[in-house]
Chains A and B, each alone.
Chain A
């Protein structure tokens, strides 16, 4: 269980690299997990080729959601918007390097949900953006 709080997770929670806001930005989206009140906003800057040049997150949440946001944004800088659209649950779990039960999975996936809703330009973030199991 304490594996859940791997050093990298606690470290990124306490000292995130990508926390903050980008103004101006090209894409911004925010959403929350109504179960726990975790709230995340993600701002992106994107160049003419559709490549992500800057990313920041703000809001509040548990160590899992905050570390997930920080590691996720680190991984998408330099990627294209189209590449982000193909990211899924497994990408996040690989970044975190942990196994998660269903409740904490929602914490971990909130940043990806917000990110994908943002790049798709959706009005609303849906679980189907991150949970491929529902389509099986």
Chain B
């Protein structure tokens, strides 16, 4: 358990010591200031060492072998699943399906639940702030099935327009799929309220939790949602591992996703029967080390406490928004502090985001420039691209200062 600083939520210096990469220099004498955690987070030693230990000592294929290594590897992999289930307060580890990432989790739902349950003319509600990962899979399904896609509009200040949402619900949608936290605006959406309204209208909900789960406590039972998708690598875990959580009864009724080994109970020459949950959706040898590594990441975050992580990030984004507002010609998009997570996307008058990002990089500051896989959202705001600085539990107030200083330097160069 980390010592908690009640003003900021956690002891950031102690946390930084857990992340070896934060000590590296981008070039001689220029230390890394990593402000791109919304793209991928850094990994603590606990995760790095778990991956290393697994490969050194336990590596074996899982679920079938009877030898010692296979049994140990299987136990570690399934133990990680239990930790992940507990982390999001799933009723059972059977509801936790390993995937490659949040994108694959959403595709799993569109390709299995969607294909089996939707018919021409059925309505799916999405939002205008979706990442392409929660947009394109539905577009693909809509093209195949002739579905109708409707969108909850985003208001000028980056919130979801719930008035219009209520009207859209009268269309009798089958599914409302939306982001729990926008990767561009930072907006934390009212998941519980949207879900309650969806259920009243007879629709299921799928929450894209790629940005939500890493940054604040998530309790799927309390939120009462039906599906949750998230990625390991944005929450201190490895790449190549993600999660689909779904209500057991829904998962049970869904046809399998990919076919192959491990997802079957019995196979004959001309047919097969599916395995039980969650293995029904897990064909082929999975990312074993990465699944175990995600378990270690969950242990790490649980040790710190997700409430502390949230409090700390609220503190740092408030400070960042204050400091960014000082910079002349800089405009942050999205809602005010208190309604957003640790993400700030902005434009600078007359300066292209790529140039901003490049000049910041020369000071060791890693930010992202572009449309952040949300082209329709950028269209909505009339912006071809933005620069995004995103924060996580290891970022400091002095890194915010370094960012602002770097932005003044950008302005001087283009001034």
**A interface residues with partner B (beta carbon < 8 Å):** 1-2, 4-5, 10, 13-14, 35-39, 60-64, 66, 104, 107
Q: Tell me if A63 and B362 are in contact (CB < 8 A).
A: no
A interface: dominant SS: helix
* Residues of the A chain whose Cβ atoms lie less than 8 Å from the Cβ of B370: 35-37
From B358, B384, B413, A38 is in contact (CB under 8 Å) with B384
Q: Tell me if A2 and B359 are in contact (CB < 8 A).
A: yes
Assembly CA distance A66 to B355 (angstroms): 11
The verdict on B369 contacting chain A, using a C-beta distance below 8 Å, is yes
* Residues of the A chain whose Cβ atoms lie less than 8 Å from the Cβ of B79: none
* Residues of the A chain whose Cβ atoms lie less than 8 Å from the Cβ of B413: 2, 5, 10
The A-B contact count (CB < 8 A) is: 50
Q: Tell me if B354 and A10 are in contact (CB < 8 A).
A: no
Assembly CA distance A64 to B356 (angstroms): 12
Assembly CA distance A61 to B353 (angstroms): 9
The 3 closest A-B pairs by CB, nearest first: A1-B362, A62-B352, A62-B354
Bits for B328-360, please: 1 = Cβ < 8 Å to A, else 0: 000000000000000000000011111100110
Assembly CA distance A1 to B27 (angstroms): 11
Q: Tell me if B384 and A10 are in contact (CB < 8 A).
A: no
Among B94-120, those with CB < 8 Å from A are none
* 13 interchain pairs, CB-CB under 8 A: A2-B362, A5-B413, A10-B413, A36-B353, A36-B354, A36-B385, A37-B370, A37-B378, A37-B384, A38-B354, A62-B353, A63-B352, A104-B358
From A1, A2, A64, B354 is in contact (CB under 8 Å) with A64
* Residues of the A chain whose Cβ atoms lie less than 8 Å from the Cβ of B351: 63
Assembly CA distance A61 to B351 (angstroms): 9
The verdict on B78 contacting chain A, using a C-beta distance below 8 Å, is no
A107 to B, closest residue via Cβ:
B354
Known: A36-B370, A37-B384. A62 touches B355 (CB 8 A): yes
Q: Tell me if A1 and B361 are in contact (CB < 8 A).
A: yes
Bits for B372-415, please: 1 = Cβ < 8 Å to A, else 0: 00010010000011000000000000000000000000000110
* Residues of the B chain whose Cβ atoms lie less than 8 Å from the Cβ of A2: 359, 362, 413
* Residues of the B chain whose Cβ atoms lie less than 8 Å from the Cβ of A5: 355, 359, 413
Q: Tell me if B384 and A60 are in contact (CB < 8 A).
A: yes
The verdict on B247 contacting chain A, using a C-beta distance below 8 Å, is no
Q: Tell me if B355 and A63 are in contact (CB < 8 A).
A: yes
From A13, A14, A37, A66, B385 is in contact (CB under 8 Å) with A37
